[in-house]
A and B are shown apart, each in its own frame.
Chain A
Amino acid sequence: MANIEYLLLFLVGSAVISYFLTRLNSFIGSIFTIFATMFVFVSLAAYGFNMNLDTTVSLLPWFSFSQTYLGFFFVIIIAFIYLMVSFFHPYFLDKYPYKNSYNLLFLLSLAGIIGAFYTDHFLQLFFFFEMIIWTTMFLIPQGKSREAAVSYFGFSLTGSVALLIGIFVIYQNVGRFDIQAGLAGISGTTSVFVFVLFMIAALAKLGTFPLHIWLPLAHGNAPHPFSPVLSGALVKLGAFIGILALIKINPIGPVIGAIDLALGQYIIAFIGSLSIVFGTLMAIKEDDAKKLLAYSSMSHGGYILVAFSALNGFAFAGGLYHILAHALASAGAFMAIAAVARATGTTKMKELGGMIHKMPITYLAYLIAIISMAGIPPMGGFISKWLIFQAVIDRGMILIAVAVFFGSVGSFLYVFRPLAALFLGQEFREYKHVKEAPLLMLIPTFIIMGLNIYTGVIPKQIIDFINNIIGENTAFAPVVATTFTVTATYGTLNAGLIALIFGVGVAIAFIIFILMKKSRKVELMDTYTAANFVHDEHLLHYSVDFYAPLERMYEKQSHWMKKFYDALAHKVKEVGKLAKYLFMSNNIGVTLIWILVIIVLLIGVVAL
């Protein structure tokens, strides 16, 4: 029996050990981190599935744990991403300025995550949240930029302050810090207030519109192996809070009759759809591969919000499925980009090209990840999007459907861009020496590839587990699923059949291909150039401003949010300067005024 308390202590202990080991030798330290993460993941997977974890507390005072299907769903996904990413550490650590503390912080943040999802106490939830934020905040600036960490911290702080206020409001009303009881205990205006506060926290963590500025900055500038964690795992904390608010609190407000949905949920769905559109448009425009994927995370965050706010069993299942599918897809994509960045030292798409000839396996990993990300069968993303579509159509949420469909088609555009610019196209001479990623890095790549396909072909186990969550948290009917099929409002989806038929189709195409005459192999540079002689492969590589005609149409509007936040930051700075002037001035007059004010106050207090 694994005990959560022991797991936490084990993680903290191994964090310290890994610090010293890394100090000794970064490779050994990283290998140790892999084993520590693996141990945690395996014990969680072995005991957590059937809720067999031991939640008794003996060593840690004031802490209390309980296990839920919902919490486990998140924990197992995130722990899995952590495990996969830890395989990358041995090859990246030497590049970072504070490599000793890297593994330490990494393991500590995992401890924070396990705590956050297993606790049943609001204050502990907040504590673990802060633990995650603080550890990751020191991980992010080890990448390219410190500004990114500041931005990340600022927005996370907004979220956690909102969360804390919400917690206190609940405590004030219910008198307990217990999560289940607390959420169940509030009603009326209080619940609306808590709903808003919790949603602010959720939006900030999920990086959705309008609290999304940190997302591309943090994802784009974080250390390469940490971006998959940020996008695949940590962002999902927001989804967790969102579920608490949207499903558990679910305040009674005015109901929109046409779609039979409460106003609060509709507003969240609308924010989600704005996030989808905005994230899609920005991702299409982005030149840095990691920032592009970050914007795609934002758009997928929007999908998750839409799914949970539709208040429909299929949508709820679809949202959870989407969390899993997107975690796998975005981790896969980010890890592929990380492998490329390790080999070439850049993630800018205009500087890269033709990596497929050097790194075919990484390419395949990226391909499968983006197929899932774009929601194309036979990968996991299709099933989740299909479930979400059912709910959107069922409710008749037309405006939200526009955004959902736009994001779905738009994702073809942006996921294809790194594929074309970074992996395909001309082979650049400066990367002639590049080799495929080392075996240790290919292990997680293969595993994630396999899981991406698995989630898209055999939905049974996942849907069954999601049904447990539905039964535990909601009153929705469970989703009917057999080994290969999922049934929803408007018909049945046979994922296995689709994969099989796709295989048949490819087999037929392959037979046609193999029967016909063998092709003549030519060089990449030997392409049709209107018979001109071009000697520089950079000139034959189309990757800068890929969607120029489309980008031109919203170029001017694309900086609005950034400008708004810049102006806001400017105002905050001004207020800060005023405060500084008032309280920390060298001016004797100001000091005298303060002394006078204090004396008057004191006299007043004494007199009263």
Chain B
Amino acid sequence: MKSTKFTPVPLTKAETDKKWWEIGDFFRRNSLWLLMYCTGCCAIELPPAMTSAYDMERLGMGPMATPRQADILLVSGYLSLKTLRRLIYTYEQMSEPRYVVALGSCPINGGIYHDSHAVINQLDQYIPVDVYVAGCMPNTEAVMNGFVDLMDQIKHKRANGWKKYHENYSWYKANQITSLGEVDVHDEFHE
């Protein structure tokens, strides 16, 4: 018989933090709240995902009203320049940790708008994207699969888009400025 003696090993602060973070990850991946930024046609895939056909709520997901409350920024479809500017604004308003899920081929490579003067081609140049769901438009199973993928990534600590945004902030900012110019929008009706 081997006698096993329990010796408590004091955890360092980094280790405790890691433990807490893992616990937090469990909660975070089981309760993902969406902010739907319905920019394009892919938004039509969301009603079946939410209602009785696929029932997003059983995964703990649900729609939220404002970016402050939400965990996922769900970009559904193409992004024109004007929308992108507001999308970035919204993304920066969200609470951390925050994740981005992009639906459809437009945020990936521009899709059918790849040569438009008003639509950007690649969303991850401007904000970090954790999950792309390809397809024009992706069917609802694919959308749900994308969410499950995101949960997987959170579990394995790979959904680090928001950290990347902090680390490479200047790179993202430079990209935003080349494509959009400085954020300098005037509201002529209330000046």
Q: Which residues of A contact B5 (CB under 8 A)?
A: none
Q: Is B117 an interface residue (CB 8 A)?
A: no
Q: Is A433 an interface residue (CB 8 A)?
A: no
Q: Is A528 an interface residue (CB 8 A)?
A: yes
Residue of A nearest to B185 (CB): A533
B87 near A539: Cβ-Cβ < 8 Å: no
A532 near B86: Cβ-Cβ < 8 Å: yes
B187 near A526: Cβ-Cβ < 8 Å: no
B90 near A531: Cβ-Cβ < 8 Å: yes
Q: Which residues of B contact A539 (CB under 8 A)?
A: 190
A538 CB to nearest B CB, Å: 8
Q: Which residues of B contact A535 (CB under 8 A)?
A: 186-187, 190
Q: Which residues of A contact B187 (CB under 8 A)?
A: 533-536
B182 CB to nearest A CB, Å: 12
Residue of A nearest to B90 (CB): A531
B186 near A531: Cβ-Cβ < 8 Å: no
B66 near A528: Cβ-Cβ < 8 Å: yes
B89 near A531: Cβ-Cβ < 8 Å: yes
In A136-195, which residues have CB < 8 Å from any B CB?
none
Residue of B nearest to A535 (CB): B187
Q: Which residues of A contact B90 (CB under 8 A)?
A: 531
Per-position binary interface string of chain B over residues 11-28, scored 1 when its CB falls under 8 Å from any chain A CB and 0 otherwise: 000000000000000000
Q: State how many residues of chain A have any CB contact under 8 Å with chain B.
A: 10
CA distance A272 to B183 in the complex (A): 59
Chain B CB within 10 Å, residue with most, of A520, A526, A531: A531
Q: Is B145 an interface residue (CB 8 A)?
A: no
Q: Is B146 an interface residue (CB 8 A)?
A: no
Known A536-B190, A539-B190; contact A528-B93, beta-carbon cutoff 8 A: yes
A531 near B68: Cβ-Cβ < 8 Å: no
Q: State how many residues of chain B have any CB contact under 8 Å with chain A.
A: 15
Known A531-B86, A531-B87; contact A526-B185, beta-carbon cutoff 8 A: no
B190 near A533: Cβ-Cβ < 8 Å: no
Q: Is B77 an interface residue (CB 8 A)?
A: no
Residue of B nearest to A532 (CB): B86
Chain A CB within 10 Å, residue with most, of B68, B93, B186: B93
CA distance A205 to B186 in the complex (A): 55
Partner among B93, B190, B191 whose Cβ is within 8 Å of the Cβ of A526: B93
Q: Which residues of A contact B185 (CB under 8 A)?
A: 533
In B66-98, which residues have CB < 8 Å from any A CB?
66-68, 86-87, 89-90, 93, 96
Q: Which residues of B contact A531 (CB under 8 A)?
A: 67, 86-87, 89-90
Known A533-B89, A533-B185; contact A528-B190, beta-carbon cutoff 8 A: no
CA distance A531 to B94 in the complex (A): 11
Q: Which residues of B contact A526 (CB under 8 A)?
A: 93
A528 near B68: Cβ-Cβ < 8 Å: yes
Per-position binary interface string of chain A over residues 505-540, scored 1 when its CB falls under 8 Å from any chain B CB and 0 otherwise: 000000000000000100000101001111110010
A378 CB to nearest B CB, Å: 32
Known A536-B187, A536-B190; contact A528-B67, beta-carbon cutoff 8 A: yes
Q: Which residues of B contact A534 (CB under 8 A)?
A: 187, 190
CA distance A255 to B191 in the complex (A): 67
CA distance A401 to B90 in the complex (A): 49
Q: Which residues of A contact B68 (CB under 8 A)?
A: 528
In B159-191, which residues have CB < 8 Å from any A CB?
183, 185-187, 190-191
In A532-591, which residues have CB < 8 Å from any B CB?
532-536, 539
Residue of B nearest to A520 (CB): B96
B134 CB to nearest A CB, Å: 26
Residue of A nearest to B86 (CB): A531
Q: Which residues of A contact B66 (CB under 8 A)?
A: 528
CA distance A141 to B39 in the complex (A): 61
CA distance A550 to B47 in the complex (A): 36
B77 CB to nearest A CB, Å: 16
CA distance A528 to B87 in the complex (A): 12
Q: Which residues of A contact B89 (CB under 8 A)?
A: 531, 533
CA distance A535 to B187 in the complex (A): 7
Given contacts A531-B87, A533-B183, 4 further A-B contacts (CB under 8 A): A528-B67, A531-B67, A535-B186, A536-B187
7 CB-based A-B contacts, threshold 8 Å: A520-B96, A526-B93, A528-B68, A533-B86, A533-B183, A533-B187, A539-B190
Q: Which are the 10 A-B pairs with shortest beta-carbon distances?
A: A531-B86, A528-B66, A533-B185, A531-B90, A536-B190, A531-B89, A539-B190, A535-B187, A528-B68, A528-B67
